Amino acid sequence: MSIFMQLIVSGISVGMIYGVIAFGYQLTFATSKTLNFGQGEALMIGALVGLTTINVLIGQSLGTFTAYFLMLPVVLAFGALQGTVVEWLGVRQAIKTKSEAGWIMATIALGIIFKNVAENVWGRDALKFPSPLPEASLSFWGIRIQPMEIAIVIGALGMMLAVEFFNRRTIQGKAVVATASDRDAAGLMGINTSRVITFSYALSSMTAAFAGVLVAPVTLTGATMGAVLGLKAFAVAIIGGLSSGLGVVVGGLILGITETMTGYYVSTGYKDVPGLVLLLLVLSLRPSGLFGKTTIKKV
């Protein structure tokens, strides 16, 4: 039983990371019906920039904990910049020409470029990321939890709540929501929708970069860390529904827990398989996702 609980607890922190990346997909899909196929690379490069920054700060004889918090704004700003570049180079033109293939291929291409640049700058080996919290596990009723795993859950939820709060309570956020519900109408009301879309990409990559530095202390950082995470988040976004904030959290938890279970009871080699199976199942049974709303076709 305690093994079972242990697997659930480990699954939760993994799942929250998937959830926060999938949340990034939702942000851009809402405003522009596009998403960044290089989201995993946004996470990776955010984590690597974070690694360099934190090492510089630690070199200034700051403590790891302080350094981690000072590093966060740098990473968030970098993420926002990276998202802007992706939108500018990969998405804007395709939205104009209404070409689905265009933005998919362009964001894939940018992802490939970012990964290749990261390989050349930071090398091909996985690097250790300094942990701001003690790495010794805490033990509750026989279940072992790393402090960083708790931080991941809190950080991920905090990030999503902050964005939701921004969207609901600020005038800029309302522009985002308006663009999401009807881009043409929002444009006619004087909202610069193309800027809103750029902004949503900045926000999306920012959450990805943040997810990167959240997960980095638990795993390792390196040029290849993003691809799999980005892919899992695809599964989560579809399982939960591309339009539901609650969906990504629940979808993330479902996938995270299923994976740790598969890893333990079947084989670690097959750990990544249930993602695709769940994805196909959800699409067959409920194509709009577990929490997604079915859209009404207009004729």
Contact footprint for other proteins (CB under 8 A)? 33-35, 37, 89-90, 93-94, 97, 99-102, 104-106, 108-113, 115-117, 119-120, 227-228, 231, 234-235, 237-238, 242, 267, 269-270, 272-273, 275-276, 279-281, 283-284, 287-288, 296-297, 299
CA-closest candidate to residue 275, choices 22, 6, 2? 22
Nearer to other proteins by Cβ, of 116 and 170: the residue is 116
Phi, psi values for residue 138, rounded to 5°: -90, 155
Please provide the size of the chain in residues. Answer: 299
Encoded tokens for 293: 């709303």
Provide the minimum distance between the beta carbon of 102 and other proteins in the complex, in angstroms, as a whole number: 5
**Distance, C-alpha 257 to centroid of its chain:** 18
How far apart (Å, rounded) are the C-alpha atoms in residues 188 and 27? 22
Closest CA to 285 of 238, 244, 228: 238
Smallest distance from the beta carbon of 39 to other proteins, in angstroms?
Answer: 11
Q: How near is the Cβ of 280 to other proteins at its closest, in Å?
A: 5
> Least distance from C-beta 61 to other proteins, angstroms?
35
- CA-based nearest residue to 121, from 229, 21, 231, 221: 221
* Cα–Cα distance, 234 to 273 (Å, whole number): 14
Minimum distance between the CB of residue 134 and other proteins, rounded to whole angstroms? 34
Q: For other proteins, which is the closer residue by CB, 50 or 230?
A: 230
CB of 58 to other proteins, least distance (A): 29
Instruction: Enumerate residues 6+ apart whose C-beta is below 8 A from 281.
Output: none
CB of 111 or CB of 247, closer to other proteins:
111
Least distance CB 295 / other proteins (angstroms): 9
Shortest Cβ distance from residue 115 to other proteins (Å)?
Answer: 7
Question: 115 or 183: whose CB is closer to other proteins?
Answer: 115
Distance CA 115, CA 145 (A): 32
> Quick one: 5 or 280, whose CB is closer to other proteins?
280
> Cβ neighbours of residue 19 under 8 Å, at least 6 residues apart?
156, 160, 233, 236, 240, 248, 249, 251, 252, 253
The nearer residue to other proteins, 110 or 156, going by C-beta atoms, is 110
CA dihedral (112, 115, 120, 121) positive or negative: positive
Hey, what amino acid is at 167? N
Compare residues 8 and 85 and give the one whose CB is closer to other proteins. Answer: 85
When the beta carbons of 96 and 128 are compared against other proteins, the nearer one is 96
Of 26, 4, 8, the residue nearest 237 (C-alpha): 26
